[in-house]
C-alpha cells in the first residue's frame, strides 16, 4: 500500500487542491508525505542571466522566498491534520525534479491547473509530463476556478 506520498506544489490554488487531497489520503492511510517545490532555472527559459538582467539575483531570491512560503503553507496544513511530513525546495525543471523525487515514494498526488488550448501549448503541462514519464502511480486532482 501507499506509505509515502510525494506532494509537489507551486504555491497555486490548483496545487493546494492537490495538497489537501494528498493530505486527506495520507491521514486515512497513516502515510507520511513529502512536499516538493521546484525552483526552476530562469536562464534557459527566459534567456536571462545576471549579465542581461540587472535584477536577476533579486528575482531568483524572490522566487526562492515564494517557494519557501508555499512549503510553509503546506507544512502548516500537515501539522493541522497531524500528518508526518518533510519539505524540500530543489532546483531544476519541475517535471524532472518531481520524477527524480518520485523514485523515493509510493504515489505522487498533484493538482492540475486544467489549462487547455493555447495556454497549455505555451505554458506546458508539468502534470502531463509527470503522468507520461512517472515510474510510480500518479493521482491528479483537477482544479476548476469557480
The three-state DSSP-derived secondary structure of the chain is CCCEEEEECCCCHHHHHHHHHHHHHHHHHCCEEEEEEEECCCHHHHCCCCCCCCCHHHHHHHHHHHHHHHHHHHHHHHHHHCCCEEEEEEECCHHHHHHHHHCCCCEEEEEECCCCHHHHHHHCCHHHHHHHHCCCCEEEEECCCC
Report field, pTM of the whole predicted structure over 0.95: no
- Alpha-carbon gap, residue 22 to 33, rounded angstroms: 8
The structural domains of the chain, ordered by start, are: 4-142 (3.40.50.620)
Provide mean pLDDT across the span 54-76. 90
- Alpha-carbon gap, residue 17 to 113, rounded angstroms: 10
Provide mean pLDDT across the span 22-32. 98
**pLDDT bracket for residue 49 (50, 70, 90):** low
Provide mean pLDDT across the span 6-32. 96
Q: What is the pLDDT of residue 59?
A: 82
Q: What is the pLDDT of residue 133?
A: 96
Question: Taking a C-beta distance cutoff of 8 angstroms, is the pair 83, 29 a contact?
Answer: no
- Give the Cβ contact number of residue 7 at 10 Å: 29
C-alpha cell at 37: 517545490
Question: How high does pLDDT run on average in the chain?
Answer: 87
66-116 pLDDT, tens digit per residue, is: 999 999 999 999 999 999 999 999 999 999 999 999 999 999 999 987 555
- Alpha-carbon gap, residue 104 to 123, rounded angstroms: 28
**pLDDT bracket for residue 123 (50, 70, 90):** very low
**pLDDT bracket for residue 1 (50, 70, 90):** confident
**pLDDT bracket for residue 57 (50, 70, 90):** confident
Amino acid at each position: 500500500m501507499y506509505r509515502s506520498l510525494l506532494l509537489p506544489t507551486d504555491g497555486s490554488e490548483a496545487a493546494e487542491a492537490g495538497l489537501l487531497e494528498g493530505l486527506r489520503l495520507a491521514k486515512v492511510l497513516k502515510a507520511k508525505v513529502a512536499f516538493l517545490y521546484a525552483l526552476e532555472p530562469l536562464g534557459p527559459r527566459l534567456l536571462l542571466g545576471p549579465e542581461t538582467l540587472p535584477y536577476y539575483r533579486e528575482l531568483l531570491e524572490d522566487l526562492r522566498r515564494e517557494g519557501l512560503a508555499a512549503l510553509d503553507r503546506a507544512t502548516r496544513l500537515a501539522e493541522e491534520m497531524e500528518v508526518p511530513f518533510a519539505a524540500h525546495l530543489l532546483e531544476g525543471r519541475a517535471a524532472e525534479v518531481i520524477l527524480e523525487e518520485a523514485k523515493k515514494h509510493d504515489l505522487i498526488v498533484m493538482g492540475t491547473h486544467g489549462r487547455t488550448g493555447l495556454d497549455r501549448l505555451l505554458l506546458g503541462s508539468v502534470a502531463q509530463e509527470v503522468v507520461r514519464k512517472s515510474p510510480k502511480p500518479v493521482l491528479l486532482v483537477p482544479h476548476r476556478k469557480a
